[in-house]
Amino acid sequence: MAKHSLLSASASHRWIACPPSARLSENYEDKPSDYAQAGTDCHELCAYKVEKALGRKVRNPAKKLSFYDAEMEDCSDGYRDFVMECVAKAKEVCPDPLVLVEQKLDYSHYVGIEGSFGTGDCIIVADDMLYVVDYKHGLGVMVSAEKNSQLSCYALGALDLFDGIYNIERITLAIYQPRRANISLYEMSKDELLTWAKETLAPAAKLAQEGKGEFKAGDHCRFCRAKANCRKRAEYNLEMAKYDFEMPATLEDTEIAAILPRIDDMISWAGDVKEYALQKALSGTKFDGFKVVEGRSNRKYTDDEAVAKAVKDAGFNPYEQKLLGITAMSQLLGKKKFEEILGTLIHKPAGKPVLVSDTDKRPAMNTAADDFKEN
C-alpha cells in the first residue's frame, strides 16, 4: 500500500485545524474500510467514463471492481456529464482547454515539506480559468466546495504546473457528490488562493510537520486515526456530562440548543471508543466489568446453487418474483426509455423530518407552528 503524504490534501481540513494530529496519526495503522474501497472503485469508474467521453482510448474497469453495482454506474454517469458540462463552459473562453484526469498535484512549495501531494480527479485549464473538480462518493457528510482546503491544495499544485504557461487568474472549486444530491461550486481569485496559502496553510503545515501547536477537537476528528483515544476529543465530548441526561425533562430549551450541535460528535466519539476498546479486548486487553462475547448472527446457505437444485428436485420453486428497484429498472431500460415508459408512474415521497444545523442548504420544512401562523 502506498505511503500517504504527512500533509495530505485529503486530510488538510484536520491538520490545519489541529496541527499536532498529523504526527500523532503516524503512530496508528491506516485501516482500509469497505466504504473507502467503494469510493476508490467509483473514482476509477468515473475516471474511465470522463476519459472515454473525451475520446481517449481507455479500458472499462467495471469487471475488476469489488463494489460495482447499478448505483455506482448511475453516480459515475452523472459525474461524467457534470465534468463535460464544465469542459463545455471552459470552451466558451478557450477552444482547446487542457483536461487532466487523475492528475498528481504537488503543493510542496507552499507547505515547505517535500512529498506533499494529492491526486486531482479532474483539472481543466482554460486560458485564465482553472477548474478543480472532485468526486465524493460518501453519503454521511455533505461536502462544500466553499474554501475547501483539499481542493485549494490541489489548485495550488495545478498553479505550480501551469501558471507559467497559462495566465491563470480565476479558480473554480467544484464538488460532485451524487449520493447526497450535492453539487457545490466556489470561485476565487488566484490572489485569494495565494493569500490563504501564505496566511493559513503554510503556518499550519509548519506546526504539523514539527508536531507542534494545540490539539483541537471538532468535526475534523471524524477521519483522524487517533480519534478513539485522543484525550482532547474525550475532554471535548465529556463536557456534556455537566448535563443530567437522567432527567431530560428538566432541561430548558436554551440548554437543549447548547447540546444539539454536539450530539452527533458525541455519538460518533462514543462509537469510536467502543470499537477501539473491542479491538484492544480481542488482542487481550482486559477492561474491568466487560468481556467479549459472540454476537447474534443469521443463518446462511453454504451453497446457493445446491440449495436451489435440492428444492427444485423436491418439487418446489426456490425463487421469489420481485419487481426491480428504480435504479436497477433504469439500468435495464436505459434512462430515456425509463422516462418514456415509467415517468408518470414514479413518485418521490417527502423525506422524513430531520433536525439539522441552520447552515444546511436544504430549505426548512413547515412546522406545526408555521401552519398555525399561516392560519
For the stretch 32-63, pLDDT in tens is 788 889 999 999 999 999 999 999 999 999 99
pLDDT score for 187:
96
pLDDT surpassing 80 at residue 8: yes
- φ, ψ of residue 41 to 5 degrees: the values are -60, -45
Percent of the chain residues past pLDDT 70, beyond the cut: 93
Report the C-alpha gap between 149 and 16 in whole angstroms.
Answer: 9
Q: Does the structure show a pLDDT above 70 at 368?
A: no
Sheet hosting strand 129-135, strand order edge to edge: 98-106, 117-126, 129-135, 170-177, 182-189
Digit-coded pLDDT (tens) for 219-261: 888 888 888 888 888 888 887 666 555 555 567 788 778 778 8
Residue with the bigger pLDDT between 49 and 1: it is: 49
Of residues 247 and 193, more confidence is placed in 193
Between CA 82 and CA 85 the distance in angstroms is 5
Among the ranges given (76-90, 95-109, 275-289), the one the predictor scored with the smallest mean pLDDT: 275-289
Q: For residue 147, is it left (φ>0), alpha (ψ between -120 and 50) or beta?
A: left
Flag the least confident range among 36-50, 92-106, 286-300: 286-300
HEC string of the chain? CCCCCCCCCCCHHHHHHCCCHHHHHCCCCCCCCHHHHHHHHHHHHHHHHHHHHCCCCCCCCHHHCCCCCHHHHHHHHHHHHHHHHHHHHHHCCCCCCEEEEEEEEECHHHHCCCCCEEEEEEEEEECCEEEEEEECCCCCCCCCCCCCHHHHHHHHHHHHHHCCCCCCCEEEEEEEEHHHCEEEEEEEEHHHHHHHHHHHHHHHHHHHHHCCCCCCCCHHHHHCCCCCCCHHHHHHHHHHHHCCCCCHHHCCHHHHHHHHHHHHHHHHHHHHHHHHHHHHHHCCCCCCCCCCCCCCCCCCCCCHHHHHHHHHHCCCCCCCCCCCCHHHHHHHHCHHHHHHHHHHHCCCCCCCCCCCCCCCCCCCCCCHHHHHHHC
Q: How far apart are CA 153 and CA 173, in angstroms?
A: 11
Please report the pLDDT score of residue 245 as a whole number: 55
Residues whose CB falls within 8 Å of the CB of residue 67, separated by 6 or more in sequence, listed in order: 34, 37, 38, 41, 42
Cα 118 from Cα 155, distance rounded (Å): 10
Looking at residue 1, its pLDDT comes to: 37
